[in-house]
C-alpha cells in the first residue's frame, strides 16, 4: 500500500551503465536500461510470455531481448519481435514507467502515466548555484517500511539519543518543536539559542564560540525530506531575522523509495553554503553522514521488527505530532487513489 501517483528516486544516474538493471520499486519488479542516445527507460521486469524477468535477458541496441524465447521490446514496452509470428501479437506489451533524470538521479512514476508531471519532482534549492557546494551523497537499503524513516526525519528529538557523538549538541533535548503543516508536507523546526555547536558541524563553522542553531525538518508527501541546519553566531539567529553573513547552512536531501512493505532504499545528498568545489569537504561530509545514517538504520530496523510483533499498543508522545500528521495524510492519499 503506497502512494503511486508520485515521483520516486529509482536509482542514481551513475548506476546505469550498459547492462540491464533490475530493481524492486513499491513491490513491483522494474528493469532499467540505457538507450543508445543516453536516455534511460524503465519497463516492468517481466516478459508477457512466461514472465521471465526481462533483466535476465540482454539489451540489444535500444531494445531488451527476453532470455527465454527471444521476444524483443522497445523502450516504450512495445513488442518488436516474437518467435513464430511475423507480426507480434497485439497483447505483447510490457508496462513502461515514466522516467526523468534530475539532480544526478532517475525519478520514476509508478502510478497513472497520464498524471506524470515532471514539474512535480521534488525541488532542490541552490542546485547548480556556483556559490554552493555539493556533498555527492550515497544510498543504503534499510530493512523497514519507509514511513519509519519519515517518522524519524520528522523527529529531531531522536538526535540527542541516536546521534550522541555527531549531530547532537547542547539543548537538543529541551527546546520545544514547532509543527507547521502545509499542503505538500509537514515541517518540524526549532531555534536553539546560545548553545554549543554540534561536534559534527563545528569544524566547518566560519566563527568560533557559541551559536544559535536551527533544525528544520521538512518532509513532503509521500517520501522526500529537506532538512536544513543553520548555525549562526550566538545572538544573531531567530525566526524571521535576516541571516548573518557567517551563517552556516546545510541542506540535506533525504529521498526514500519503498522497495516493498519491509524494505526501503534511502538516497541522500547535501548542499552547503561554503567551500564550493572542495572535494575534500564533500568526502568528509559523505563519510560522516553515512556513519550517522547507519546509527538510524540500526534503530529503524529494530523498530520495524518491534512493531511487527507488538502485543500491546505502542504509545504516542507529544514529539510524535509531526510524524502522525504526516502518516494520516499519506493514508488519505492512498485511499483517494483507490477511490479513483
Ligand atoms: S518467456 Fe520471454 S519469450 Fe518466452
Ligand atoms: Fe537520525
pLDDT tens digits along 24-38: 999 999 999 999 999
Q: Identify the pLDDT of residue 198.
A: 83
Q: Identify the pLDDT of residue 164.
A: 82
pLDDT-derived band at 65, boundaries 50, 70, 90: very high
Residue 68's domain is classified under what CATH number? Answer: 2.102.10.10
Whether residues 108 and 157 share a domain: the answer is no
As to burial, measured by CB atoms within 10 angstroms (0-12 exposed, 13-18 middle, 19+ buried), residue 178 is middle
Whether residues 88 and 167 share a domain: the answer is no
- 128 assigned to some structural domain: no
Whether residues 138 and 112 share a domain: the answer is no
Look at ligand 1, atom 3, and give the residue with the nearest C-alpha: 69
Q: How far is the CA of 292 from the centre of ligand 2 (A)?
A: 7
Q: What is the pTM of this model?
A: 0.94
Judge whether 15 and 31 are in contact, CB under 8 Å.
no
Which residues lie across from 237 on neighbouring strands?
none
Instruction: Among 57, 89, 120, give the residue marking a domain's end.
Output: 120
As to burial, measured by CB atoms within 10 angstroms (0-12 exposed, 13-18 middle, 19+ buried), residue 100 is middle
Whether residues 38 and 115 share a domain: the answer is yes
Tell me the ligand closest to 56's alpha carbon. 1
Q: How far is the CA of 99 from the centre of ligand 1 (A)?
A: 25
Closest-CA residue to 248 (of 282, 216, 201): 201
In the block, which residue shows the cell 477511490? 339
Mean pLDDT of 215-232: 95
CA torsion sign, 227 to 231 to 237 to 241? negative
pLDDT-derived band at 106, boundaries 50, 70, 90: very high
Closest-CA residue to 7 (of 174, 197, 201, 223): 223
Judge whether 231 and 211 are in contact, CB under 8 Å.
yes
pLDDT for 243-274, tens place per residue? 999 999 999 999 999 999 999 999 999 999 99
- Report the alpha-carbon distance of residue 204 to residue 192 in Å, rounded: 19
Tell me the ligand closest to 293's alpha carbon. 2
- 234 assigned to some structural domain: yes
Mean pLDDT of 86-104: 95
Whether residues 35 and 149 share a domain: the answer is no
Helices vs. strands in the chain: H and E counts, helices first: 4, 18
Q: Identify the pLDDT of residue 159.
A: 86
- 127 assigned to some structural domain: no
Instruction: Among 120, 152, 167, give the residue marking a domain's end.
Output: 120
In the block, which residue shows the cell 516504450? 76
Mean pLDDT of 120-124: 94
Whether residues 113 and 173 share a domain: the answer is no
> Does the pLDDT value for residue 236 go beyond 90?
yes
Tell me the ligand closest to 158's alpha carbon. 2
Whether residues 115 and 144 share a domain: the answer is no
Q: Identify the pLDDT of residue 174.
A: 74
The upper half-sphere exposure of residue 300, i.e. CA atoms within 13 Å in the direction of its Cβ, equals 27
Pocket of ligand 1 (CB under 6 A): 47, 49-50, 52, 66, 68-69, 71
Average pLDDT, the chain: 94
> Does the pLDDT value for residue 275 go beyond 80?
yes
Whether residues 205 and 260 share a domain: the answer is yes
Which residues lie across from 258 on neighbouring strands?
264
- 140 assigned to some structural domain: yes
Q: Which atom of ligand 1 is nearest to the CA of 57?
A: 2
pLDDT-derived band at 234, boundaries 50, 70, 90: very high
Q: How far is the CA of 99 from the centre of ligand 2 (A)?
A: 30
SS3 286: helix
Whether residues 172 and 298 share a domain: the answer is yes
| Cell, residue 46 | 517481466
Q: Identify the pLDDT of residue 173.
A: 60
Whether residues 55 and 175 share a domain: the answer is no
Domain range for 65 is 7-120
> Does the pLDDT value for residue 121 go beyond 80?
yes
Q: Identify the pLDDT of residue 177.
A: 86
pLDDT-derived band at 306, boundaries 50, 70, 90: very high
> Does the pLDDT value for residue 170 go beyond 60?
no
Most confident range, picked from 43-52, 180-189, 281-290: 43-52
SS3 292: helix
As to burial, measured by CB atoms within 10 angstroms (0-12 exposed, 13-18 middle, 19+ buried), residue 166 is middle
> Does the pLDDT value for residue 131 go beyond 90?
yes
CB atoms < 10 A from the CB of 11, how many?
Answer: 23
Residue 157's domain is classified under what CATH number? Answer: 3.90.380.10
Range scoring the smallest mean pLDDT among 99-103, 215-219, 285-289: 285-289
- 22 assigned to some structural domain: yes
Instruction: Among 120, 147, 170, give the residue marking a domain's end.
Output: 120
Q: Identify the pLDDT of residue 94.
A: 98
- Report the alpha-carbon distance of residue 228 to residue 249 in Å, rounded: 7
Whether residues 66 and 138 share a domain: the answer is no
Tell me the ligand closest to 51's alpha carbon. 1
Whether residues 275 and 148 share a domain: the answer is yes
Q: Identify the pLDDT of residue 337.
A: 95
**Whole-angstrom distance between the N-terminal and C-terminal Cα of the chain?**
15
CB atoms < 10 A from the CB of 92, how many?
Answer: 20
Total tally of structural domains belonging to the chain: 2
- 160 assigned to some structural domain: yes
Backbone torsions φ then ψ of 142, nearest 5 degrees: -120, 130
Range scoring the smallest mean pLDDT among 31-45, 167-181, 235-249, 284-298: 167-181
In the block, which residue shows the cell 552547503? 272
CB atoms < 10 A from the CB of 141, how many?
Answer: 11
pLDDT-derived band at 167, boundaries 50, 70, 90: low
Q: Among 47, 48, 57, 88, which residue has the most ligand 1 atoms within 8 Å of its CB, making it the best to mutate? A: 47
Look at ligand 1, atom 1, and give the residue with the nearest C-alpha: 50
> Does the pLDDT value for residue 340 go beyond 80?
no
Look at ligand 1, atom 4, and give the residue with the nearest C-alpha: 69
- Report the alpha-carbon distance of residue 214 to residue 191 in Å, rounded: 4
- 125 assigned to some structural domain: no
Q: Identify the pLDDT of residue 281.
A: 92
- 2 assigned to some structural domain: no
Q: Which atom of ligand 1 is nearest to the CA of 54?
A: 2
- Report the alpha-carbon distance of residue 31 to residue 75 in Å, rounded: 11
Q: Which atom of ligand 1 is nearest to the CA of 52?
A: 1
CA torsion sign, 313 to 336 to 117 to 25? positive
Judge whether 185 and 323 are in contact, CB under 8 Å.
no
Mean pLDDT of 104-121: 97
Q: How far is the CA of 283 from the centre of ligand 2 (A)?
A: 19
Amino acid at each position: 500500500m503506497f502512494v503511486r501517483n508520485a515521483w520516486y528516486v529509482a536509482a542514481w544516474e551513475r548506476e546505469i551503465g550498459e547492462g540491464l538493471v533490475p530493481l524492486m520499486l513499491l513491490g513491483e519488479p522494474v528493469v532499467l536500461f540505457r538507450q543508445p542516445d543516453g536516455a534511460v527507460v524503465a519497463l516492468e521486469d517481466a516478459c508477457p510470455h512466461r514472465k521471465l524477468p526481462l533483466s535476465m535477458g540482454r539489451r540489444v541496441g535500444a531494445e531488451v531481448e527476453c532470455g527465454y524465447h527471444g521476444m524483443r521490446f522497445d523502450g516504450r514496452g512495445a513488442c518488436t519481435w516474437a518467435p513464430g509470428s511475423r507480426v507480434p501479437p497485439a497483447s505483447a506489451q510490457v508496462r513502461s514507467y515514466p522516467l526523468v533524470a534530475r539532480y544526478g538521479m532517475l525519478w520514476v512514476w509508478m502510478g497513472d502515466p497520464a498524471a506524470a508531471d515532471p514539474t512535480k519532482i521534488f525541488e532542490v534549492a541552490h542546485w547548480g548555484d556556483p556559490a554552493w557546494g555539493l556533498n555527492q551523497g550515497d544510498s543504503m537499503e534499510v530493512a523497514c517500511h519507509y514511513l519509519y524513516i519519515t517518522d524519524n526525519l520528522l523527529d529531531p528529538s531522536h538526535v540527542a539519543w541516536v546521534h550522541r557523538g555527531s549531530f547532537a549538541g547542547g539543548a537538543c533535548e529541551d527546546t520545544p518543536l514547532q509543527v507547521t503543516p502545509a499542503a505538500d508536507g509537514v515541517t518540524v523546526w526549532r531555534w536553539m539559542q546560545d548553545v554549543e555547536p554540534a561536534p559534527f558541524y563545528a569544524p566547518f563553522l566560519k566563527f568560533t564560540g557559541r551559536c544559535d542553531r536551527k533544525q528544520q525538518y521538512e518532509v513532503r508527501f509521500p517520501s522526500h525530506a529537506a532538512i536544513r541546519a543553520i548555525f549562526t553566531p550566538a545572538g544573531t539567529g531567530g525566526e524571521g531575522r535576516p541571516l548573518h553573513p557567517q551563517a552556516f547552512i546545510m541542506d540535506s536531501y533525504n529521498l526514500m523509495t519503498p522497495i516493498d512493505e519491509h524494505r526501503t532504499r534511502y538516497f541522500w545528498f547535501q548542499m552547503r553554503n561554503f567551500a564550493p568545489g572542495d572535494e575534500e569537504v564533500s568526502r568528509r561530509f559523505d563519510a560522516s553522514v553515512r556513519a550517522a545514517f547507519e546509527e538510524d538504520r540500526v534503530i529503524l530496523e529494530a523498530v520495524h521488527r518491534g512493531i511487527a510483533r507488538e502485543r500491546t499498543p505502542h504509545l504516542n508522545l507529544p514529539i510524535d505530532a509531526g510524524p502522525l500528521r504526516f502518516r494520516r495524510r499519506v493514508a488519505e492519499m492512498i485511499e483517494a487513489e483507490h477511490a479513483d
